[in-house]
Amino acid sequence: MKAITQDVFGGPEVLRLTEIDRPEPGLSQVLVRVHAAAVNPTDFWHRAHGGLQRRIVPLGWDVSGVVEAVGPGVTLFAPGDEVFGMPRQPEPAGAYAEYLVAPARHLARKPAGISHAEAAALPLVSLTAWQALVDVARLEPGQRVLVHAAAGGVGHVAVQIAKALGAEVIGTARAAKHGFVRELGADRVVDHTAEDFAEVVSDVDVVLDTIGGEYGPRSLRTLRPGGIVVSLASPAEAALTPVARAQGKRALFMIVEADQAGMLAVADLVERGLLRATLDTVLPLEDAAKAHELGERRTTTGKIVLAVRADASGGQD
C-alpha cells in the first residue's frame, strides 16, 4: 500500500510517498480502507522532533474510511461499514496511508450526512474539545466559556460544542475571522491583535487555551473564583496549576485520548446538526508535505485534510 513515511526528523520536505506492507487486523482490531486523514499540529511536532518519545512514528491520527476486514472478536463492525475516529492516540496510528489497523472500540460509525473528508477533520479536535469541556471542566448550561484561537482546528469545534452544551461563548480571533466565529455560534469575539482579552473579558467559568505561554497567566485573570483554564498547548503549561490554586482557581494541562464514548457523542452532535467541520484545504495524500507547510503557517480557518481516495470529499462510499 502507499503511505507517507520519513527517515529523519526535519521540515515538511522529509515526508515522502512510499510503498509499504499492508497491515492485517489482530484480536479486536479492524482494517480500515482509508478515504481521508486530517492534518493536526501534533503531526508537525512528531515529524520535526519525534514527539515526547523522540522517535519516528507513522503520522496521522484522524481517519475516516471503510472497514475492509475485521479481526477475531470484533462484533461492532463488519466489512463495508463506514467509520471514523482517532485510534491509538497518544500511540502512533498511521492514518497517512491507504490502510490502517485500529482497535475496533477506538472508532465510531461515520455520520451518513457528511463526506469522508469532513468526518476525518473531526475526531482529534472534537475529542479534545469534548474531553476538555465535558470531562475536565464539567461545563454546565449557562456558564461562560472563553475559547482561544476560535477559528482554528480545535477552536472552531470547541465553540460549537460549548454552544450545544448551553454555554455562553466568547472567542478570540483576528478581525477578519470574526464573522466565521460568530456563524459557529459565538456570542462575542475579541480581536486579540487589537486589544488585551484579559482586560475586556471577565467572570468566565472555563477557558480553553490552545496557545499556551503568556496566554495562561492572562487567562487566569478572566476567570471567576473557582473557574478553570484547560490548556492544550504543552506539558510545560502544567506549571500554571499551583499559580491558579493560589488564586482560588484551577488550571490543568490535558492530552486528548482515544475515546469511543466521546466519538459517539461527537457523532450524535453531527447527526443533530449541532457540529460541523470547516475544511480549509483538501489535498491528495502525495501532497502531505505541502499540507504540513500550510498548517505550520497557522493561518488556516478550520482543518487541512488529505484525500487518500478520490471520493473523500463526496458522499457515500
The secondary structure of 289-315 as a DSSP string is HHHHHHHHTT--SSEEEEESSTTTTSS
Q: Model's pTM, two decimal places?
A: 0.94
Domain extents in the chain? 2-122+277-307, 125-253
Q: Specify the fold of 2-122+277-307.
A: Quinone Oxidoreductase; Chain A, domain 1 (3.90.180)
Residue 157 reports pLDDT greater than 70: yes
C-alpha cell at 7: 527517515
Residue 278 reports pLDDT greater than 90: yes
Task: Please report the pLDDT score of residue 235 as a whole number.
Answer: 87
3, 255 in Cβ contact below 8 A? no
Question: What phi and psi values does residue 136 have, to the nearest 5 degrees?
Answer: -95, -55
Per residue in 66-97, pLDDT (tens digit) is: 999 999 999 999 999 999 999 999 888 999 99
Task: Please report the pLDDT score of residue 51 as a whole number.
Answer: 83
In terms of DSSP bridges, do strands 82-85 and 63-70 run parallel, antiparallel, or are they unpaired?
Answer: antiparallel
- Indicate the residue type of 149: A
DSSP 3-state assignment of 240? Answer: helix
**Mean pLDDT for all residues in the chain:** 95
**Rg of the chain over CA atoms, in angstroms?**
19
Burial tier of 47 (Cβ tally within 10 Å: 0-12, 13-18, 19+): buried
Please tell us whether the domain made up of 125-253 is placed in CATH 2.60.40.10: no
**Span 115-131, average pLDDT:** 98
Residue 168 reports pLDDT greater than 70: yes
Cβ density class 75-102: b for 16+ within 10 Å, e for less: ebbeeebbbbbbbbbeebbbbbbbbbbb
Task: Please report the pLDDT score of residue 316 as a whole number.
Answer: 41
Task: Please report the pLDDT score of residue 317 as a whole number.
Answer: 39
Per residue in 4-27, pLDDT (tens digit) is: 999 999 999 999 999 999 999 999
**Residues of the chain with pLDDT > 70: what percent?**
99
